[in-house]
């Protein structure tokens, strides 16, 4: 399994999130919902978000997918709940740079929190879409919310 090439500590964090994802389930009072599908791996994620006053009050996700897709959604929710839309957009962009192997700044690194452990997927191009699935879904939700407010 390709994951075994990842640094051991990082691998454990990813496996732990994949097996016990945070923010998994149904969100009451959601304001937005998006379904995301990654055909190359078969990952399916439904992301439910509650956004009030330009801030993400809560995120939950459901679906079936590989460990990386679930761990990534779990870490994303953990890091971004409570943050404002602009900050979350910056984080989503930073995350996609990270997994593509591009440099990110210290402040971006801090924003991503535990999710930086997913940087290792850059060695496995087929898994990059697994890692970015939830983040792309959130970015689409945020773009829509932003449009409405303009």
Alpha helices, H only, the chain: 8-19, 67-80, 85-99, 106-112, 125-148
Instruction: Tokens for 58, please give them.
Output: 């809560």
Give min distance, CB of 118 to Zn ion, in A: 12
Question: What mask of x and - would describe binding to Zn ion in positions 14 to 53, judged by CB under 5 A?
Answer: ---------------------------x-x----------
Phi, psi of 56 (to 5 degrees): -80, 110
Site for Zn ion in 121-140 (CB under 5 A): 130
Q: Quick one: 43 or 79, whose CB is closer to Zn ion?
A: 43
CA–CA distance, 43 with 64 (Å, rounded to integer):
6
Give min distance, CB of 127 to Zn ion, in A: 6
- Contact positions vs Zn ion (CB under 5 A): 41, 43, 66, 69, 130
């Amino acid at each position: 399994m390709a994951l075994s090439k990842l640094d051991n500590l990082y691998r454990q964090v990813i496996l732990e999130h994949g097996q016990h994802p945070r923010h998994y389930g149904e969100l009451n009072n959601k304001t937005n919902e998006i379904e995301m599908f990654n055909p190359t791996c078969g990952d399916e994620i439904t992301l439910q978000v509650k956004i009030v006053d330009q801030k993400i009050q809560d995120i939950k996700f459901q679906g079936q997918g590989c460990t990386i897709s679930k761990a990534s959604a779990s870490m994303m929710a953990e890091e971004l709940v409570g943050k404002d839309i602009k900050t979350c957009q910056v984080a989503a962009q930073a995350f996609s740079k990270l997994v593509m192997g591009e440099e990110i700044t210290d402040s971006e690194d801090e924003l991503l929190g535990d999710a930086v452990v997913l940087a290792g997927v850059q060695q496995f191009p087929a898994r990059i879409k697994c890692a970015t699935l939830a983040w792309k879904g959130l970015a689409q939700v945020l773009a829509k919310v932003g449009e409405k407010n303009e």
